[in-house]
Amino acid sequence: MDASLTLSPIPDAPPPGASRGGRSLHRFANPGRFLRISGAILPALSIAAFAITAAGLAWGLLFAPADWQQGDAMRIMYVHVPAAWLASGGYFGLAVCSVLSLVWRHPLADLAAAEIGPVGAGFTALCLATGSLWGKPMWGAWWVWDARLTSVLILFFLYCGHVALVRAFDDPQRGYRAGAILALVGVVNLPIIKFSVDWWNTLHQPASITLTGSPTMAASMLWPLLVCAIGYTLVFAAIVTARTRAAVMERRIRGLLMARAEAAA
Amino acid sequence: MTHAGFIAASYALGMLVPAFFAVTAWTRTKSARRRLAALDTRRASRA
């Protein structure tokens, strides 16, 4: 039995006073509709995500050339860099969901934000761990209090704080609201992470790929990196979608159980 | 291959972290679907 069919629909009408943008957003706020659409795309998304990631990792590990200075340790980049991009990108997604939640009271934005938090924390931890594994052979240290490393560590703490805060209240709505405020305050850390290597004299190398300039790495290394980045981004999206689907169903279960308890009382 | 241990550990983490989240998401969804179906069946049989 497909649970998406059992969800009673939430009216498409936005809350009174919602703006035009809010009205169009609320068209996609129906949990039943979200489950139907996400259920249709999730299998293909998951298969593509894991296939592209596996291909990118195999390309980077087996076929990409070693760096003339760093040797094979440079191959850690194929895991580390996508994880770093997703740590920041995931937090940006968390902030967007927080705006949607605070301004337009989008019902799925709360759930999506709550589900992005742990996944973002996991990818930030992955970034820090692989960075450490790269740093030991290259710098001779597992960790240095460098501006880039420290700002990413703060990002990890922000994610952990969001995860804890969202789940700290008996009333989930208060938790979502507190988490959204924390997420928006923490956005200030994203430009610090991005520009830390330019603003301070850091041990961490500056960006090799920028939006404005040409990349400073060979195409034979750049292509597998881009494939890994696309693959990991799809993995992140698939995981968050799957977790949000589960959260929608769990909210429905809580609603049914509470209705039953009230009826029995 | 130089620094093989560091590279192997990084790739292992790069696969284990997404795999952990994927498995937990799948088990959560499966459990929620089963509980929801059971609740809806009970509700339908009462009506």
The interface predicted TM-score of the complex, written ipTM, equals 0.90
Asked if the Cβ–Cβ distance from B15 to A57 is below 8 Å, we say: yes
Residues 6+ apart with CB under 8 A from A133: A76, B6, B9, B10, B13
Contact A66, A72 (CB under 8 A): yes
* A18: closest CA of chain B, how far (Å): 32
Pair of tokens at residue B10: 């990084």
Indicate the residue of B3, B21, B41 with minimum beta-carbon distance to A122.
Answer: B21
Q: What are phi and psi of A71, to 5 degrees?
A: 70, -145
Determine the residue of chain B that is closest to A233 in CA distance: B18
Long-range own/partner contacts, residues A130-136 (CB < 8 A, 24 or more apart)? A130/A76, A130/A79, A130/A80, A130/A83, A130/B10, A130/B13, A130/B14, A131/A80, A131/A84, A133/A76, A133/B6, A133/B9, A133/B10, A133/B13, A134/A73, A134/A76, A134/A77, A134/A80, A134/B6, A134/B10, A136/B6
DSSP string, B18-45: HHHHHHHHHHHHHHHHHHHHHHHHHHHH
- Cβ separation A125–B17 shorter than 8 A: yes
Q: In the numeric block, which tokens belong to residue A192? A: 């610090």
Could you say which DSSP state residue A74 is in? G
Q: What is the mean pLDDT of chain B?
A: 89
pLDDT of residue A200: 86
Mean pLDDT of B20-30: 96
Per-residue confidence (pLDDT) for residue A18, from 0 to 100: 52
Element (H, E) at A131: helix A107-139
| Domain coordinates in residue numbering, chain A | 30-204+222-264
Gap between the Cα atoms of B30 and B40, Å rounded: 15
Write down the pLDDT at residue A250.
Answer: 93
Residue B3 to chain A, least CA–CA distance (Å): 6
Sign of the C-alpha dihedral computed for residues A33, A36, A41 and A42 taken in this order: positive
B contact test, residue of A35, A253, A262 with most B CBs within 10 A: A253
Task: Note the Cα A253 to chain centre separation in Å.
Answer: 26
In CATH, the architecture of A30-204+222-264 is Up-down Bundle (1.20)
Q: Which residues of A touch B21 (CB under 8 A)?
A: 118-119, 122, 239, 243
Confidence (pLDDT) at A70: 84
Residue type, A205: Q
Q: Considering only alpha carbons, which residue of chain A is nearest residue B23?
A: A239
What distance in Å separates the CA atoms of residue A61 and residue A71, rounded to the nearest whole number? 12
Residues of chain A with a CB closer than 8 angstroms to some CB in chain B: 1-3, 6, 46, 53, 57, 61, 66, 71-73, 75-76, 78-80, 83, 118-119, 122-123, 125-126, 129-130, 133-134, 136-137, 232, 235-236, 238-239, 242-243, 245-246, 249-250, 252-253, 256-257
Paired with A71 in beta bridges are A67
A168 close to A117: Cβ distance less than 8 angstroms: no
List average pLDDT for each run of 10 residues in chain A, which is 265 residues long: 42 50 63 89 96 96 87 92 96 96 89 96 97 93 93 97 94 92 96 91 78 77 94 97 95 88 83
> Which of the four pLDDT bands, split at 50, 70 and 90, describes residue B30?
very high
- Mean pLDDT of all residues in B11-35: 96
Output phi, psi for A140, to 5 deg: 85, 15
Among A118, A126, A142, smallest CA distance to A78 is for A126
Identify the pLDDT of residue A52.
Answer: 97
